[in-house]
Amino acid sequence: MTACPKLLTPDICVIGAGSAGLTVAAAAAQFGVPVVLVEKGEMGGECLNTGCVPSKALIAAAAVRQTGRRGPAFGIEATEPAVDYAGVHRHIHEVIAKIAPHDSVERFEGLGVTVLRDHARFRDARTLEVGDTLVRPRRFVIATGSTAAVPPVEGLETVPYLTNETVFGLTELPGHLLVVGGGPVGVELAQAYRRLGSEVTVIETGSILSRDDPELVEVAREALSADGVRLLENTTLAEVGGSAGAIETVVEMASGRRTIAGTHILVATGRAPTVEGLDLDKAGIAYSAKGISVNRGLRTTNRRAYAIGDCVGGLQFTHVAGYHASLAIRSILFRLPVKVDTTRLPRVTYLDPELGQIGLTEAQAREIHGDRVRVLSAPFSGNDRARAERRTEGLVKIVTGPRGRILGVGMVGAGAGELLAGWSLALSAGVKISTVASHVAPYPTLSEVNKAAAIGYFSESLTNPWLRRILGVLRRLG
């Protein structure tokens, strides 16, 4: 006789224990709401295990080695430290291990969350099947994340290619790393491996970092080239062959076909939302290869189900996942109306120098607002702290609209990711450029470059004839 499956009826069932899902589960549990959390893979998802955390640990290791090369400019003898890549691998995984307890089953069960470690699939619009357990909650939150997107290139499946999901398992430094894709992940890893001693070639069908402001990207491009990264832009990967340690690629360029050999190949051509295997059709949830379909409030075509984070496509960043999670919690627990606002969501590429953007780029703003757009900028070369640290490459660009409204900010330079945080607050609070121009920044800090750019908003006043007449009258009054 077949045993009846166990039935759970929580308020919320979260599918996926990555950044988005864990945020919802933790918040709901701390409010005393019954939650079931389902995860078939590793707790912490892509960010902890194969994304943000290991990549930034690798970048940090590369930065330490790079510091030794900058010595002569400061009167210090240059050094070229030897790289123990097994030690770099150990550093990366020690960092993951230190963070992992925060995302662990034990922590969430301690919060009162019921954690199911198995594959999830919908049985119908109200019921989820997880192994031998059925879950019938008041609301579903789908947070299944994304996986590495692999392009259909002839021969690629015949070689041991890497993605961000496998590259951090390497215990030996690649001799010559071929990076397919010039987006944020591709260029970050390209620079890091080059600084650690690998030869690196980036193959990109268009321009690197094509979503960002071309003026800012040019600074990043020069930095990559100065590090010795070989950039093949406007180049298509046509064929791949060879074997482990001896990869051969055929690329198509304007000048014709060429063969480029390397020891390893890393595919960094973006992320694909994880939607397969959930039987979403049975739940009445619409989806496509671009992700699960949601409205502005992150609800799917099934009124009981929300979808958040990478699985909905669009901006695929950990902080965006957290933002989505906060909206879902407000809607489910407090019945508040919510709406995704992408204008306040920053993005940063962690190159050296870092490149960040929030809001509209200059091109996007001009397309919408035309000649009402004003662009204010300031170079890092005019900042005293940047001069003292000999990190003067880069600039800040502020895009403003009518009446001093801040439409967007882009920057490339040392610490750009940290400097962008203040602009995120400014856009969220609707702060005008005049307020930024009037604030007092500590001296000497890199943050003064933000104020230097903002002050440019008043440059037209310097030659305004009416203002000069008023000043003339005031001078005569003594």
Q: How far apart (Å, rounded) are the C-alpha atoms in residues 325 and 22?
A: 9
**Nearest CA-CA partner of 144 in 274, 251, 293:** 274
Angle 325-416-379 (CA atoms, 0-180°, nearest 5)? 145
Q: Residues annotated in the binding site for FAD, as ranges?
A: 56, 144-146, 310
Query: Which amino acids are annotated as binding site, given as ranges?
Result: 56, 144-146, 181-188, 204, 270, 310
Contact 362, 375 (CB under 8 A): yes
Residue 358, SS3 per DSSP: strand
Binding site for NAD(+), by residue number, is 181-188, 204, 270
What residues pair up with 162 in beta bridges, in sequence order?
A: 266
- Helix (H) or strand (E) holding 199, with range, is strand 199-203
Q: Note the maximum CA span of the chain.
A: 103
Alpha helix ranges (H) inside 211-317: 214-227
Contact between 120 and 38 under an 8 Å Cβ cutoff? The reply is: yes
* Closest by CA position to 67, among listed 355, 380, 352: 352
Residue type, 243: S
Dihedral sign, Cα of residue 218, residue 219, residue 225, residue 231: negative
CA–chain centroid gap for 190, Å, is 16
